[in-house]
Amino acid sequence: MAASTIDSTLFRDQFSTPAMRAVFDDKMTVQKWLDVEAALARAEASLGIIPDQAAKDITRAADVGQYDLDAMRDEMARTSHPIVPLVRAMAKACEKLGAKEAGEFVHWGATTQDIMDTGLVLQMKDGLDLLLDALGVLDANLEKLARDHRDTLMAGRTHGQQALPITFGYKAAVWLDEVRRHVARLQDMVPRVLVGQFSGAVGTYAAIGEQGPEVMRRMMADLGLTAPVICWHVAKDRPADFACNLALVAGTMGKIAHEVATLQRTELAELEEPHQPGKVGSSTMPQKRNPSICEGIQSIARLAWACVPPAFEGMVAEHERDKVANQGERDFIPRLCCYTEAAVRKVAHVTGGLSVRTGNMRKNLDMTGGLLLSEAVMMTLGQKIGRNTAHDVVYEAAMEAFEKDLVFRDLLLKDSRVTAVMSAADLDGILDPARYTGLSAEMVDAVLNA
């Protein structure tokens, strides 16, 4: 039995994707540490701090395929330290390459957190690339839904009740606009959050001296990361910023999935997630077509949100170094990336194969006998008899229609206050839902053209 659903052979693809798991697996974690050590050596060699050949040899040794991860794990347990075993293993790797002297320059002037923080940021960078790719697929799907259903009538609902007519394209455009805000947030946070680390034991460059900041700048340019102005060993707002932005994305995925699942209910049947032959809704009720994908997405969204509190806990870090926060980040950041990207991929799958049942949308529009056009009637009637009076007239008819199961239109036409200023033909025109979608279509166009 796997300790985590993400690692489970049976369940992992319900909670993550192979690509995102690969970003955070043990081989990639060690590879990122090696990449950081090699970039550090190259930066120092470029400034004459260590020999140029040593940097070249360290770079040759920075390949995870040369290392025994089981042996490294055992050494981590023996030393109670994550990076000392790596540094020693790199020195041995250099020796095997015939460059024993180079091993003495591995990790020159660095501290453990420099390597581990920067390595994790590199993984966050790769994870963010996967997430943005997934959001791009979702963007295209939502754009198509918005365009294709720009004028598809359906009931708009508030508080779970039919409210006014809208178009399904309008609903999809609301989702699309929200997704695009997330993309903007994620892109905006890149220079602020994907920031590397190198400054030594307490962050003062004491081991390197005046060349320290330039080493750091060159090292980060090599790795494709932003260089910080000052050490952030205990300034944990960046991981919290990252966590919050990913949790926001997960929240929208949960919202979209919830909406699809709600509109898939038998009594509504306006939308349905993709259904392929062989998909089973129940072990005992053969007729069931459950929104199982959307239910899973909602669960994943909640798991993603649960990764945020540890990020805030980590902000309360002590003095110039505090391992507590770092330990937490190694757990919640990979899980958060896995959950969030999986949720986006699954929503992209749902929206890419979504069944839009326009006939049921129209049928549901008519099920209240025109009650959802009560505002339209009130506003038109209000021009003749005053808005407040019109509200009372329409309210009385609407409540009687609802409570006695009568026809709203017939009750209005029995009221002399209505017939005195409005003909049956006028009323029928007002009760046409296609004429009361407001600027739904125009707002779809605005989102598509933004």
User: Is the CB of residue 331 less than 8 Å from the CB of residue 243?
Assistant: no
* Distance from C-alpha of 95 to C-alpha of 310, rounded to nearest angstrom: 41
* Distance from C-alpha of 303 to C-alpha of 319, rounded to nearest angstrom: 31
Write down how long the chain is. 450
In this structure, how many other beta carbons lie within 10 angstroms of the beta carbon of residue 256? Answer: 27
The secondary structure of residue 440, as a DSSP letter, is H
pLDDT score for 240: 97
pLDDT score for 276: 79
Whether this model's pTM surpasses 0.85 = yes
N-terminal to C-terminal alpha carbon distance within the chain:
49
Cα angle, residue 283 at apex, residues 281 and 287 outer, rounded to 5°? 50
Cα–Cα distances in Å, from 289 out to 246, 275, 324, 365?
A: 31, 8, 46, 23
pLDDT score for 313: 95
β-bridge mates for residue 162, sequence order: 157
HSE, side-chain direction, 13 A CA sphere, residue 375: 11
Cα-to-chain-centroid distance, residue 7: 20
CA-only gyration radius of the chain, Å = 30
The backbone torsions φ and ψ at residue 224, rounded to the nearest 5 degrees and listed phi first, read 75, 30
Which candidate in 46, 80, 159, 258 is catalytic? 159
Return the H-helix or E-strand segment holding 166.
strand 161-167
Q: Say whether 240 sits in a helix, a strand or coil.
A: helix
* Distance from C-alpha of 268 to C-alpha of 295, rounded to nearest angstrom: 17
DSSP string across 62-120: --GGGS-HHHHHHHHHHHT-SSHHHHHHHHHHHHHTT-GGGGGGTTTT--HHHHHHHHH
β-bridge mates for residue 271, sequence order: 356
User: Is the CB of residue 229 less than 8 Å from the CB of residue 162?
Assistant: no
Contacts of 204 (CB under 8 A, 6+ apart): 231
Which candidate in 4, 80, 282, 391 is catalytic? 282
Return the H-helix or E-strand segment holding 310.
helix 308-313
Retrieve residue 36's tokens. Answer: 């950081």
User: Is the CB of residue 352 less than 8 Å from the CB of residue 409?
Assistant: no
Which of 396, 393, 397 minimizes the C-alpha distance to 409? Answer: 397
Q: How would you write the pLDDT of the chain (450 residues) with one tens digit per residue?
A: 577 899 888 989 889 999 999 999 999 999 999 999 999 999 999 999 999 999 999 999 999 999 999 999 999 999 999 999 999 999 999 999 999 999 999 999 999 999 999 999 999 999 999 999 999 999 999 999 999 999 999 999 999 999 999 999 999 999 999 999 999 999 999 999 999 999 999 999 999 999 999 999 999 999 999 999 999 999 999 999 999 999 999 999 999 999 999 999 999 999 999 987 877 776 787 877 889 999 999 999 999 999 999 999 999 999 998 888 888 999 999 999 999 999 999 999 999 999 999 999 999 999 998 999 999 999 999 999 999 999 999 999 999 999 999 999 999 999 999 999 999 999 999 999 999 999 999 999 999 998
User: Is the CB of residue 341 less than 8 Å from the CB of residue 127?
Assistant: yes
Contacts of 378 (CB under 8 A, 6+ apart): 387, 390, 391, 393, 394
pLDDT score for 448: 97
Return the H-helix or E-strand segment holding 153.
strand 153-158
User: DSSP 3-state helix, strand, coil percentages of the chain (rounded to 5)?
Assistant: 65, 5, 30
For residue 25, with 0-12 CB atoms within 10 Å meaning exposed, 13-18 middle and 19 or more buried, which class applies? Answer: middle
pLDDT score for 1: 54
pLDDT score for 287: 74
Sign of CA dihedral 104, 109, 113, 117: negative
- Decide if 440 is catalytic: no
- Decide if 149 is catalytic: no
